[in-house]
Amino acid sequence: METGEFWNHQPLDALLPHLVHAGSQKVSDARRLTAFSIDILPARFYNKGAKSPVNTRWMDYDKSAPTENGEEYTMNGKERLDAYLAGKKVDRRPNLTIVGSVVTQYTGIDIERYSKDYKAMTESAVQAAIDLKLDFIQIASDLVREAEGLGSEIAYFPDKLPTVRKYALDDITEVSRLRPLKTSEVRRMYDLVEATAYARTLNSDIHPMTLAVGPATIAGNTRGVEDLLVDMLDEEEAGEDLLNIATETILDYIRTLASAGATYIYVADPVASLFSPSMYERFVLPCHRKIFGLMKELGIGSRLHMCGDTTKILPFSSTCGADIVDIDHAVNFAKALEIADGRCLINGNIDPVADVFSCDAAHTKQAILNAADSIGRARAMFMPGCELPTRTPLANARAISEALEEIGD
């Protein structure tokens, strides 16, 4: 029986011992590990006022040294992600593939339940993280939670992600009646806060990484994407007001997540990639800087995800303060590294459809290896450039970590 089949056939109570301990080996041989001094941790890994940094479990890793039983030591997801972001040696690059609703394959839940039942969503995500050797537990389902709170009508489906049925604003001038949301007052937003805490009870070896929908995408799902883009030209002040409402909503959400112990948050803002570079710099970048600035202040690791060809936006988005910036397959990896110039880690960039969904596992593995080779295996992370389709073959998704293991550190 394959690993995925094992998880599919087990009730959660039977899985808990595996969920808590899978993915790490306890090592007592002091010759292999050197305690990592708190004093040399980057500032972003500290929670101000906390008694310890976020990544207290991280230690220097020595791949050449065996464990007591002679086996090679394998880092767990927390250790690997924290260490790589700190510029330290790892056994392999972290796998931050956005698997999306692929996780429903592990528990058999439909997409509507995945979107509404945070416990079922989280249990699915934990199983996926273990089987696919992800280095984060994906706490996310869809991009319309905030827009729903702002008044957009949402349609739910058993076989696809929820979409906006009717936008909250028929005209941008109506923005004056909207106010920033309080996370605690919006059920589906607060669900992700509870999911973050719940994930930590299911697995202590992998960081939950919780979705925050970006300001341009919240605005687009509140007004309509095409109308929003026109508004930013014709009704600039009202358009900015809507972006600011979205940003204040996100800031409250981040503070609420921090109070629940969140250590990593990723901001998905696909609508931002539709802005011209000058419009992104003028309208969206200030919002992104506020968002990532707050995460840095709170000691939360951060990641920005935008879809499509963001090459011309990267000179600006790479300065937003995110620790990690994702790139889609339309972006040249070497060019992205040149533009980012060390300001952030670049993560990408194979095609989620051609290289993962509609091929075999050997093709997926080679695509990841090719991405690494295209930049001389320079410091970066490798994954599909966008979310995987729901029915992506699990064997193909597993091949991503197989390739990363071959690439090493």
Query: Which amino acid is present at 230?
Result: V
The reported pLDDT for the residue numbered 23 is 33
What is the pTM for the complete model shown?
0.84
Token readout for 68 is 């007591």
**What average pLDDT does the segment 185-208 reach?**
97
- pLDDT tens digits for range 337-396: 999 999 999 999 999 999 999 999 999 999 999 999 999 999 999 999 999 999 999 999
- Collapsing DSSP to helix, strand or coil, 189 comes out as helix
CB neighbours of 14 closer than 8 A, spacing ≥ 6? none
Tell whether the torsion through CA atoms of 217, 101, 391 and 128 is positive or negative: positive
**What average pLDDT does the segment 202-229 reach?**
98
- pLDDT tens digits for range 19-65: 333 333 332 222 222 222 222 223 333 233 333 333 333 345 455 44
The reported pLDDT for the residue numbered 74 is 86
CB atoms within 10 A of CB 83: 22
Query: What's the CA gap between 307 and 268, in Å, rounded?
Result: 9
Query: What's the CA gap between 68 and 329, in Å, rounded?
Result: 42
Give Cα separations from 135 to 94, 185, 280 (angstroms).
6, 31, 30
Q: What is the largest CA-CA distance in the chain?
A: 68
Residue 210 backbone phi and psi in degrees, to 5:
-100, 140
Query: What's the CA gap between 204 and 77, in Å, rounded?
Result: 10
**What average pLDDT does the segment 243-261 reach?**
97
Query: What's the CA gap between 20 and 229, in Å, rounded?
Result: 46
Q: What is the DSSP letter of 391?
A: T
Residue boundaries of the structural domains of the chain:
93-407
Residue 301 in this model has a pLDDT that exceeds 80: yes
Spelled out in words, what is the top-level CATH class assigned to the domain 93-407?
A: alpha beta
**What average pLDDT does the segment 72-81 reach?**
91
Residue 79 in this model has a pLDDT that exceeds 90: yes
> Which H or E run contains 164?
strand 163-166
Token readout for 139 is 């706490």
Residue 365's nearest CA partner among 405, 393, 399 is 399
> HSE on the CB side for 273, CA within 13 Å?
20
The reported pLDDT for the residue numbered 287 is 98
